[in-house]
């Protein structure tokens, strides 16, 4: 939902998936003028003789390490900002997601000063040197399902290699990313070194097509990733990194330790973040000899997890709602279509739960065809097919 204000600024409204109530209607959509200002500041920080460009390796390393420390000391606050719009309980997902961000900044800080390059003997009369140099202004367009982890995965390596970075968080979960701006200043990033631009797909399109951005990194859906690649190619042929959707399989053989499967990949892999994660175990292949035993135990384990589904603010909750009404309606539509078209057998679940909020009872489908939509396409919700 978008609207304007007296100054003509378009804004986004965001809601909590726990009960559908409004969180804020004041999230600005960054337009072309905002992007241009951010790039001007970034280019100045990167220009020869300016602070980020002339910063020595040890000082840049200290900045990244301090930033990691600040994320760690503010992790409960940052997690609450993500949780209110994502709906993932801290116990099951929030802490591990923030730990990923912290770990990335610390890990890549350790790489600073270690990009040695190459040199070759001048046997042919030519002295040849390969030197690694930063690209310049790099933009990261991150998804809504793991906003802080994605920041660590995309911003940390770019900054560690001497680039300046512009972050565009998802319009569904922008709050924690926006809060990082203050921490970036406190960590010692110079003006323009690390920036956050809120907005929707239109902001991402401006970044992907901008002539003064050297690289764009995008994590999200395949259709949007294709658009990013096209925009990058049609502009300045900027470098592109894409991490797009998939359909993660789990394979269980007769000699598998079932307890580990249910405490790890198979069940927790499905219900973690309500299945809204790239490595959710959304299709499971089980060897014949263990199939019946596996299925009975899997069904029981998923039913037990239903008992810890609830308000993401509760310390006892392990499963929360899906991110918003659009995702909620999309997942239920996929389940209902599969059921009506006999696209496999629905063993249990697949229903909306509760009078308010976007909660879905995890759905288990059996005997789906290899070409069926629910076995082939990424659903990004609590739906599993077992064959």
Nearest to residue 368, comparing CAs of 347, 341, 386?
A: 386
Q: Does the active-site annotation cover 266?
A: no
CA dihedral 149, 151, 157, 160 (to 10 degrees): -120
Q: Does the active-site annotation cover 104?
A: no
* Catalytic residue of the set 2, 72, 266, 278: 278
Nearest to residue 140, comparing CAs of 206, 211, 219?
A: 219
Nearest to residue 20, comparing CAs of 92, 87, 88, 80?
A: 87
Nearest to residue 220, comparing CAs of 168, 278, 157?
A: 278
- Check: CB of residue 347 under 8 Å from CB of residue 284: no
**Tokens of residue 336, six digits:** 């209902």
Interacting residues of 317 by C-beta distance below 8 A, sequence separation 6+: 89, 91, 92, 308, 309, 310, 311
* Catalytic residue of the set 51, 243, 313, 378: 243
Active site residues: 243, 278
């Amino acid at each position: 939902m978008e609207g304007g204000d007296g100054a003509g600024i378009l804004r986004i409204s965001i809601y909590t998936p726990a009960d559908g109530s409004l969180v804020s209607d004041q999230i600005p959509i960054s337009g072309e003028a905002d992007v241009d200002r951010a790039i001007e500041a970034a280019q100045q920080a990167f220009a020869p003789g300016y602070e980020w460009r002339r910063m020595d390796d040890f000082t840049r390393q200290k900045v990244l390490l301090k930033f990691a420390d600040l994320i760690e000391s503010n992790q409960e606050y940052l997690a609450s900002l993500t949780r209110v719009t994502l709906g993932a309980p801290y116990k099951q997902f929030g802490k591990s997601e923030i730990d990923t961000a912290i770990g990335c900044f610390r890990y890549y800080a350790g790489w600073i000063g270690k990009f040695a390059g190459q040199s070759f003997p001048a046997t042919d009369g030519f002295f040849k040197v390969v030197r690694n140099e930063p690209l310049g202004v790099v933009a990261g367009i991150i998804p809504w399902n793991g906003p802080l982890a994605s920041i660590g995965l995309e911003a940390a390596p770019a900054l560690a290699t001497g680039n300046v970075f512009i972050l565009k968080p998802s319009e569904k979960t922008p709050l924690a990313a926006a809060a990082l701006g203050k921490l970036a200043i406190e960590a010692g990033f110079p003006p323009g070194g690390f920036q956050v631009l809120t907005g929707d797909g239109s902001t991402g399109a401006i970044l992907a097509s901008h002539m003064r951005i050297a690289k764009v990194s995008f994590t999200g859906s395949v259709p949007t990733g294709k658009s990013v690649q096209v925009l990058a190619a049609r502009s300045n042929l900027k470098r592109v990194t894409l991490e797009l959707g998939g359909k993660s399989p789990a394979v269980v053989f007769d000699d598998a330790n079932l307890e580990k499967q249910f405490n790890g990949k198979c069940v927790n892999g499905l219900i973690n973040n309500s299945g809204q994660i790239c490595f959710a175990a959304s299709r499971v292949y089980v060897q014949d000899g263990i199939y019946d035993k596996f299925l009975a135990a899997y069904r029981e384990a998923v039913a037990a997890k239903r008992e810890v589904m609830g308000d993401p603010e509760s310390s006892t909750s392990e499963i929360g709602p899906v991110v918003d009404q659009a995702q909620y309606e999309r997942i239920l539509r996929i389940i209902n279509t599969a059921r009506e078209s006999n696209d496999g057998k629905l063993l249990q679940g697949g229903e909306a739960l509760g009078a308010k909020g976007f909660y879905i009872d995890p759905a288990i489908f059996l005997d789906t065809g290899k070409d069926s939509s629910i076995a082939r396409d990424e659903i990004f919700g609590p739906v599993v097919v077992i064959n």
